[in-house]
Amino acid sequence: MWYLRKHHVKFVSKKELGKGIPSVSYNLRHGGSVLIDRKNPRQSLSAMMTFGDYIEKTKRAAVIFPEGTRSKDGIPIPFKTKGLEMLLKKVPSALIVPVTVNNSWKMLRYGNFPMGIGNHMKFTVHKPLEIINFTDKVELIQQVERTIVEAIEK
């Protein structure tokens, strides 16, 4: 995330991350990110619409994890596309930069403790995709998912 600092990134996060994690929770609540209730689709969509307007107006960068949660075994979970669709609709000037995170599942495979010591996470930043180059948003989302999944190390 250090490399993204100059882009003023704002995160789409589950509401549970808004409490109990020193510094992280505070920044998510007060730094322009959006906290969504995954059990309440109406709240989530409303929050995403407001967030999309904010991102477009301020020209900030949005970070969304479309899998929704970390894989328990390294096998990718199918994308939940509604949040990404909403951002594509509300932020038409955006560039999509797919990022593959390898081995994050190994860090917490035993729960919170013991942490997977000696495991290395690897981030792969892929070539940006311009929304205007895709007439079909579903095709764009499928391309993003394909790009990320193909870079996952087995």
- Token representation of residue 18: 């808004």
With H, G, I as helix, E, B as strand and everything else as coil, classify residue 77: coil
Predicted model pTM: 0.79
pLDDT for 36 equals 93
Which stretch of DSSP H or E encloses residue 101? strand 99-102
C-alpha span between 130 and 149 (Å, rounded): 19
Centre a 10 Å sphere on the Cβ of residue 18 and count the other Cβ atoms it contains: 19
Q: 49 near 32, Cβ under 8 Å?
A: no
Nearest to 10 by CA among 33, 26, 28: 33
Identify the bridge partners of residue 122 per DSSP, sorted by sequence position.
102
Q: Dihedrals φ, ψ of 55, to 5°?
A: -65, -45
pLDDT for 150 equals 93
Q: 101 near 150, Cβ under 8 Å?
A: no
Residue 114 has pLDDT above 60, yes or no: no
Q: 114 near 105, Cβ under 8 Å?
A: no
Structural domain boundaries, residue 88? 5-151
Tens of pLDDT, residues 15-62:
999 999 899 999 999 999 999 998 998 999 999 999 999 999 998 888
Report the percentage of the chain scoring pLDDT > 90.
37
Total tally of structural domains belonging to the chain:
1
Q: Compute the average pLDDT of residues 131-141.
A: 89
